[in-house]
Amino acid sequence: MKIDLGDIVAEFTLNLKDQPAKNRSVRKLGIVRKTVPADRVPVIPQPYSPHSGRVTSIMNLQADKKVELLGMVDLDEMGNEIGASADQPTYTTDDVAGNVIVLTDNGDGTGVIAAVGVVGNAQVTATFPDGSTTVETINVGVGDMASRAFKFGEVTEVTPDA
């Protein structure tokens, strides 16, 4: 498990004593790109998976961006990439209403995660044919500055009521 603490990342691995760690898989991401309005319209309901307390990795994504899921790669017990995963996962999310992200599973082990513009987080789960899963938390933060707007204070009375 990795926890992003700003300037540092804390990484924790738990293994059974006297047992070799199993190979694990992580997602492989493409280039982060700006979204267009069509990217931010979810097909509701999105493919659902329940919120998990077991998170494999965390990704930060700006509210006006999307990223391609290029597939999954297998890792050895030390976290080194072995190669592309032989099994193709199915991608699901706990954000079934598409309030924070729009998840598109292309059906071939690839997909797209697009932020809808709201700051928040959602989880994406990759489920393999053998039932094993990998869970990614997507933290959606503010996007790039695009315009300026007035910020007003509280409205106050300027003349006394009679």
Q: What is the pLDDT of residues 66-113, one digit of tens each?
A: 999 888 888 888 878 888 888 889 999 999 999 999 999 999 989 999
Q: Which of 66, 57, 43 is nearest to 124 (CA)?
A: 57
Q: Token digits for 126? A: 């990759």
Residue 139 has pLDDT above 60, yes or no: yes
**CATH architecture assignment, domain 23-141:** Sandwich (2.60)
Residue 145 has pLDDT above 50, yes or no: yes
d(CA 65, CA 86) in angstroms, rounded, equals 29
Residue 120 has pLDDT above 90, yes or no: yes
Tokens 């996962």 identify what position? 89
Select the more confidently predicted residue: 71 or 11: 71
Select the more confidently predicted residue: 117 or 55: 117
Tokens 């280039």 identify what position? 31
Query: What is the band of 121 on the pLDDT scale with cuts at 50, 70, 90?
Result: very high
Residue 129 phi, psi (nearest 5) = -55, -30
Half-sphere exposure of 126 (CA within 13 A, CB side): 29
- Count the Cβ atoms, other than its own, within 10 Å of residue 78: 7
